[in-house]
Amino acid sequence: MEFNEVVTQTSTADIDQRHRVLRNTYALLSMSMVPTVIGAVLGTMFGSSLMVGSPILSMLIFLGISWGLMFAIEKNKDSGLGVILLLTFTLFMGLMLGPLLHYALRFSNGGSLIAVAAGGTGIIFITLAGIASTGKRDFSKLGSFLFAGVILILVAAVANMFLHLPALTLAISAVAVVVFSALILFDINRIVQGGETNYVTATLAVYLDVFNVFVNLLQLLLAFAGDRR
């Protein structure tokens, strides 16, 4: 077999693997929306009762459980248990989404704003995923910038738990929509470029991007277009 044929076969196999990871990521991402919706419905029913003690304590409990599940997912990403843990994680995230949805439904147009946020998130995902998966451009250089953006958002969010500044809350949400939208582009492109070969890990990353875009987009809509009863 000639060298060029070997290279061609290797390249074809590599491309096939990337496409398979991308297909599996999209399939598992779609599947993960089911427990998210179930968790969100349950969370909306319980409402603010899900908040334990102070906001800081609630945040610490949330971070502890979510990071623990993410660590377990990463440890078991090559087995069926990883998929089960991922779906458990999305159920938990849906449950934690409940208080925000419960708050939104207190607005006369809350249901409509939730639908707009969901639709807007879908449009953002489809558009950026399309750009990332069909274009030949490599967006890997965005990684360090986006990582810094996430750290900035976390630091600002923690600081605002003490400052309680409405303007800062809006600024955080606006920046978060931009950063996590860009992360959709980055994470999908990373699969296409062969930088991520495990679809469980890939799904977790993209799910978090989509989740955060939806949450922050809804918060902006509630702030600017919410109509209190």
pLDDT band, residue 16 (cuts 50/70/90): confident
Residue type, 33: M
Strand residues in 163-226 grouped as ranges (E): none
177-222, pLDDT tens digit by residue? 999 999 999 999 999 998 899 999 999 999 999 999 999 999 999 9
Q: CA–CA separation, 205 vs 184, rounded Å?
A: 8
- Phi first, then psi, for residue 164 (nearest 5°) are 55, 50
Q: CA–CA separation, 164 vs 159, rounded Å?
A: 8
Longest dimension (CA), the chain: 74
DSSP state of 193: T
User: Given this model, what pLDDT does residue 229 score?
Assistant: 64
Q: CA–CA separation, 64 vs 85, rounded Å?
A: 15
Tokens of 113: 């704003």
Closest C-alpha among 146, 52, 145, 158 to residue 99: 52
SS3 228: strand
| Confidence (pTM) | 0.91
Helix, strand, coil share (%) of the chain residues, nearest 5 = 85, 0, 15
Mean pLDDT of the chain: 90
Q: CA–CA separation, 18 vs 81, rounded Å?
A: 22
User: Given this model, what pLDDT does residue 3 score?
Assistant: 42
% of residues, the chain, pLDDT over 90: 74
49-75, pLDDT tens digit by residue? 556 556 777 888 888 999 999 999 999
- pLDDT: which is higher, 10 or 3: 10
77-116, pLDDT tens digit by residue? 999 999 999 999 999 999 999 989 999 999 999 999 999 9
Q: CA–CA separation, 38 vs 140, rounded Å?
A: 34
